[in-house]
Amino acid sequence: MKYGDPMRVLIIRPEREATALATALSERGHAPVIAPLFRLEFLHPPSDFSAALAACQAVLLSSANGARALAQASEQRGRPVLAVGDTTASTAEGLGFSAVSSAAGDGAALADLVRKRLDPKDGPLLHICGRDVAVDLAEVLRPAGFEVKRFALYDAREETKLPDSARAALEARALDVATFFSPRAASVFATMVEDAGLSAALRDVTAVAISPAALAPLAVLPFKAVVAAAKPTRQAVLDEIDRLGDRLVDPGAEAGVQGHATMSDEASSPTPSPAPAAPVSARRGLGVIGAFLVGILAAVIVLAGALISLPFWPHQARDMWRGQAVIPPAPAPGIDLQAVRADAAAIANAAVDAVRRDLTARLDDLEKRLRAVSVTVAERPAAAPAPSTAPSPAPAPAGPDPAIAELRSKVEALENRPAGSASPGGGDAEKEIGMLTREIAALRSSLQALDQAVATQRDQAKTLSDAVGARNSGEQKALSAARASAMIGIAARLSGSLDSGMPFAADLNLLTPLIQGDAKLNAIFASLQPYAQTGVAARTALDAEFPAVAKAALADDLADDSYGERLLGKLKGLVSLRRVGDVPGDGTEAKLARAEQALHGGDIAKAVEIVKSLPTQTAKATSAWFAKAEAHLAAKRSVDQLAVHAVDLLGAAR
């Protein structure tokens, strides 16, 4: 066996981690054998978990399962996360956590990262872990002044016996390597193998562990060799498996090589001495002097050949032959991957903060403009009509003008005066008639002037009323535009809350002063109210939760099938495989695969429609996830309706 040869590798990790490790081994050309010794179960968070999460300055994750348990327990994704290694950090980032840093090591490295990055005065820390922990970070960090609150949010439950896949592989002597990622896993494996009576089957198997501590429980087993990874990371374990080919070429030479491998007692036991060989007759050669002369002659021939071919040598080789040293180029400086990751995270966080500040400033400006328009309308003179009402015509006079009425009564009295009422003298009567005629003419002129003045006053009043109406219309449009802009900003905030899975009661309450008189906006507000206090599940959370839901649904579906289908389901459970991607067909497994693919692409509505079409026996497994997805879609539709309504109002105002 040599470097790069395919190896048959036993994986005893829980199902999710085992699948990821099997994928990495397959890409390197190895054949994985999955036999989980533990079942991962997420625990319900205690009542004080939410308050502790809100008060902490950062979250510590000592395993990838801790990241999944945290995502299961809370929809918050904005807290800074310090992860023990790159795998845990990648898992947390994939679940939507935005500020993740990796210690790229073990628990001690994580504690060092905490001391370098954080200040005890900024608040307590939250350690998300399982019920069994290898390193108590609270004890390690207490001398530095840190307060660490530990929450066990998952538990790896042991299986009762060695899985059938591991038993079959050991009985068939079909394994080259067995991997161990914790002392607990190694101890459980050793107990199960001894109980099954398969210890002797490990004589040709090499144990590769993530650390020397994980090797200690394996001392009772007769492994061919035991190897501890150079670093406590999954990548280091994979590299050790690749290097096993070179180490196993000559096991006897291994004892003289310093490295990470530690041979077991079985492998290091002395081998029997070989039987003496048959006598061989010796032949006399050239002797010492002859060999010396032949060597000198060969050196002279080689030197002569070099001198003859010197003109044909490369330029650099000729310079070296003539004694001109060629200075090799300076090696490129090493790249600090941890520093690059930290710088990238800082740049991303700064960009997110800048965008958040810009959006907040724009929304605050819109709110100020809305309040300014409202104050202007409230302080307008009482003579002007309110902006929400149409301009009313100029007020009519309360009654007839007294001067006009007096003139009209005098004219009517003179015109209706009887002719016999004049004085008996004819001359006096003619004079009185002439005087009355002139008086009537004067009165008529005054009446006509007053009528013209009244008409002019009415025209001026109408002009003033039209001007006030135009002003009110402009203010009404400005008020409508400001209101629509505020609604657009609120819709953007609500959409961000839905994507992050955060509660949005505060953002939704911003719509309260805008609801009056708008029935459609009132309906949208009412539809979002049930989800405001708790929020809805984020798309990333729905995506992360679906594989477990799909496995449970597939198991429930196979439970009602024929004996052959149930047997097939059990076999699939042994190797923990399920088809994913665009799988054709109308079976439950094909539909679940297409639903998972739709979730990966961000199409929650399509995934919900597919899950809705599954057989009724899968409802128990999918009901909880289905309810979360339906709530997400309902809230998303309402926020989209709010944005469309705001855009329509903005267009009408212009």
If you average pLDDT over residues 196-213, what whole number do you get? 91
Asked if the model's pLDDT at residue 205 lies above 90, the reply is yes
**Cα separation of 469 and 387, whole Å?**
9
Any domain includes 216:
yes
What's residue 347's pLDDT?
Answer: 58
The last residue of one of the domains, among 136, 155, 174, is 155
What's residue 296's pLDDT?
Answer: 73
**Highest mean pLDDT: which range of 52-61, 379-388, 608-617:** 52-61
The last residue of one of the domains, among 212, 243, 267, is 267
Same domain, 193 and 123: no
If you average pLDDT over residues 525-552, what whole number do you get? 86
Same domain, 145 and 45: yes
Any domain includes 338:
no
If you average pLDDT over residues 73-87, what whole number do you get? 88
Host domain of residue 58: 39-155
pLDDT digits (tens, 9 = 90+) for 37-62: 888 888 889 989 989 998 999 999 98
pLDDT-derived band at 191 (thresholds 50, 70, 90) equals very high
Helix axes 164-171, 183-196, angle to 10 degrees: 60
Complete DSSP assignment for 105-132: S-HHHHHHHHHHH--GGG--EEEEEESS
What's residue 574's pLDDT?
Answer: 46
Handedness of CA 578, 583, 587, 592 (dihedral sign): positive
Same domain, 76 and 140: yes
More reliable by pLDDT, 413 or 139: 139
More reliable by pLDDT, 642 or 480: 642
What's residue 293's pLDDT?
Answer: 67
Beta bridge partners, 259, equal none
If you average pLDDT over residues 112-137, what whole number do you get? 89
Which amino acid, residue 566? R
Any domain includes 432:
no
What's residue 189's pLDDT?
Answer: 92
Same domain, 73 and 115: yes
Count how many domains the chain has.
2
Asked if the model's pLDDT at residue 290 lies above 50, the reply is yes
The last residue of one of the domains, among 248, 267, 286, is 267
pLDDT-derived band at 104 (thresholds 50, 70, 90) equals confident
Q: What is the pTM of this model?
A: 0.38
If you average pLDDT over residues 557-578, what whole number do you get? 52
Any domain includes 175:
yes
What's residue 634's pLDDT?
Answer: 92
Same domain, 208 and 257: yes
What's residue 393's pLDDT?
Answer: 44
Same domain, 129 and 190: no
Q: What CATH number does the domain containing 209 carry?
A: 3.40.50.10090
Q: Which H helix or E strand runs over 474? A: helix 426-500
**Highest mean pLDDT: which range of 176-180, 434-438, 618-622:** 176-180
What's residue 156's pLDDT?
Answer: 82
* Backbone conformation region of residue 362, classed left if phi is above 0, alpha if psi is from -120 to 50, else beta: alpha
Among the listed residues 508, 510, 596, 515, the one whose alpha carbon sits nearest the alpha carbon of residue 551: 596
Average pLDDT, whole number, for the chain?
Answer: 74
pLDDT digits (tens, 9 = 90+) for 11-46: 998 887 888 888 888 888 888 999 898 888 888 899
Same domain, 86 and 176: no
If you average pLDDT over residues 600-628, what whole number do you get? 87
Same domain, 128 and 54: yes
Tokens of 442: 């004067």
Same domain, 44 and 83: yes
Asked if the model's pLDDT at residue 397 lies above 60, the reply is no
Asked if the model's pLDDT at residue 242 lies above 90, the reply is no
Same domain, 122 and 29: no
